[in-house]
Amino acid sequence: MLYSLVSAAEKRERFRTRLATGELLVMPGAFNPLSAKLIERKNFDGVYVSGAVLAADLGLPDIGLTTLSEVATRSAQIARVTDLPTLVDADTGFGEPMNVARTVQVLEDSGVAGLHVEDQVNPKRCGHLDGKQVVDEASALRRIRAAVTARRDANLLVMARTDVRAVEGLGAAVERCKAFVDAGADAIFPEALIGLEEFETMRAAFDVPMLANMTEFGKSELFTTRQLADVGVNIVIFPVSLLRLAMGSAVRALDTITREGSLTSMLDEMQHRADLYELLDYESYSAYDTSIFNFDVPR
């Protein structure tokens, strides 16, 4: 009932333990707390909070318009409803190294298990669009060092994301990731790799865990979890998938209302009221309410 009974510290410790096994962890993107509960119900390994999804949810494009407070608020709302670890997109850290440090501590307070900071210029743009720009290596490393030194819980995972592949090529991306590891990054997120061979090459370049982004309609091919596991990837995210599917269904529903005047023909495609109530654990709320308000009003 209400929120998870597992502390943020324990979630972080569990996340670290799972990553240490070397197995692939699958973390779909939640577009709200309810979808995070569904991800847990379906036995996934963790929940991802995408900056692109948060921006879209606010009716904004993914071009660095969201604020730290907006990201922290949504991250806290999602992290508190599930026992799973939550990994959040912290964009560029919302400013210079001191801002990055504050971002880490604010997100740490929101209860997430990990976050990633990227090396795009600020404000950033979607990692799968053309025309991206990255900061120089020294500036990128200052962000990561700031993030690593700012955390108070040593188990908070600090991941470094690089967008260099699309700007300077794979070789430059490999070298930047190595520098990130030397700067203290716990894990690496090389964005917009092309071909499974590039994931394999990147994976062989360093020892810390690596994340693969399987976002639809982007630069990277959509590989299966088995293919990614076979080349040594440790985390795979599906950041915008649930939002895209939900919005696709919403479009079809609105068109059906216009065409047919009702949604009767789409009832089989909807989550049933009973399934929603089960996911929300209505029964425990009812039992709690009954146990507290179990008195009669004198007449």
pLDDT, tens only, 68-121: 999 999 999 999 999 999 999 999 999 999 999 999 999 999 999 999 999 998
Query: What pLDDT is recorded for position 220?
Result: 83
CB atoms within 10 A of CB 152: 9
Using CA atoms, how far apart are residues 194 and 259, in angstroms rounded to an integer? 42
Give the 3-state secondary structure percentages of the chain, helix then strand then coil, rounded to 5: 50, 10, 40
Q: Where are any strands of DSSP class E within the chain? A: 25-28, 47-49, 86-89, 114-118, 157-162, 187-190, 211-213, 235-238
At residue 290, the pLDDT reads: 83
Q: Does domain 8-240 have CATH number 3.30.200.20?
A: no
- What is residue 295's predicted lDDT score, i.e. its pLDDT? 58
Q: Give Cα separations from 50 to 66, 75, 200, 271, 279 (angstroms).
A: 12, 10, 24, 24, 22
- What would the pLDDT profile of 259-284 be if each residue is shown by its tens digit? 999 999 999 999 999 999 999 999 99
pLDDT of residue 125: 67
pLDDT at 241: 98
Query: What pLDDT, on the 0 to 100 scale, is given for residue 286?
Result: 86
Tracing tokens 């879209």 back to the chain, one arrives at 56
209, burial (CB in 10 Å: exposed 0-12, middle 13-18, buried 19+): buried
| Ramachandran quadrant class, 94 (left: phi over 0; alpha: psi -120 to 50; beta: rest) | left
Dihedral angle of Cα 261, 265, 268, 272, to the nearest 10 degrees: 20
Which pLDDT value is given to residue 64? 87
pLDDT of residue 130: 67
How far apart are alpha carbons 78 and 182 in whole angstroms? 32
Beta bridge partners of 210: 188
- Token pair recorded at residue 77: 């709302």
Regions of the chain where pLDDT drops below 50: none
Domain boundaries, the chain: 8-240, 247-291
Report the pLDDT value the prediction gives residue 68, as an integer from 0 to 100. 97
| Dist. CA 239–CA 213, nearest whole Å | 7
Query: In a 3-state reduction of DSSP, which class is residue 201?
Result: helix
Alpha-carbon radius of gyration of the chain: 21
Catalytic (active-site) positions: 48, 62, 89, 91, 116, 118, 126, 161, 191, 213
Overall size of the chain counted in residues: 299
Residue type, 41: R
